[in-house]
Amino acid sequence: MSLTVISWNVNGLRAAAGKGFADWLAQNPGDIVAVQETRSLLDQLPEHVRSPAGWHFHVHPAQRLGYSGVGLYAQTPWDALTTATGREEFDVEGRLQIARFGKLWVVNGYFPNGNGKERDNSRIPYKLDFYRQVFDLMAPQFAAGEPILVMGDYNTAHREIDLARPRENREISGFRPEEREELDRWIRAGWVDTFRHFHPDQVGAYSWWSQRFGVRAKNVGWRIDYVLASPGAVPFLKDAFIWPHVTGSDHCPVGVVLDRRVLSA
């Protein structure tokens, strides 16, 4: 039997609720659905989104209202869940959930954008610090060979194949050399980009598009949403996917299919 794990930046969970998110969830698209940029407190969400039939739900909001936040839906309850990063500057922005389902670790991250208020790349140091903190948090489980999935909106296109217009965006946060190098560091350490594991040369495979008119229809996009797998999870991988046909956000869902035996590995 298979286990389907999905990640989706919903660009505001309340907004997504008005665009059919609950209907999509009711179709049971996966076993675990991690969402980012929820931008909502629990009591701000409609009942059918915060307590949908057949799902367990946990949301971790930012202290700043209407900003950031992550959420986790699961058809079976997790065995453990924490939102602590060990760094207050990350915790206040509601950027991380770490859940354990049996032997499988599911890390839901909303990795920061490097743009400051003036779109000046001033948040890149903060962004890279967050990457490193998540890397270090999971290092003990990684070293022990445990199966781990680190998923979410990474806010970085890794290689030129991962965005439609690489030459025009080399100085833009999301495709800066230091951001791409941080992803390289993860890959060199043994983390596996699951989509490229199954689709190494697929072009035009994007997960985010500008909301300017016509951009998504022309597929002028970026692949900035990932599921990275530890070596302990790789033997259980069966497929990885991007679902651009699912609308309701400027991002689309991405995910993986695993052998369900990963839960008891």
Contact 38, 12 (CB under 8 A): yes
Q: Dihedrals φ, ψ of 8, to 5°? A: -150, 120
The residue type of 246 is V
> Partners of 226 in the beta sheet?
152
Phi-psi region at 136: left, alpha or beta (left = phi > 0; alpha = psi -120 to 50): alpha
Contact 198, 234 (CB under 8 A): no
Choose the catalytic residue: 31, 120, 153, 184.
153
Is 31 among the residues known to form the active site? Answer: no
The rounded distance, in Å, linking the Cα atoms of 139 and 185 is 13
The sign of the torsion formed by the CA atoms of 227, 232, 235, 236 equals negative
Phi-psi region at 208: left, alpha or beta (left = phi > 0; alpha = psi -120 to 50): beta
Contact 189, 150 (CB under 8 A): no
Instruction: State the DSSP string of 136-149.
Output: HHTHHHHHTT--EE
Question: Which amino acids are annotated catalytic?
Answer: 153
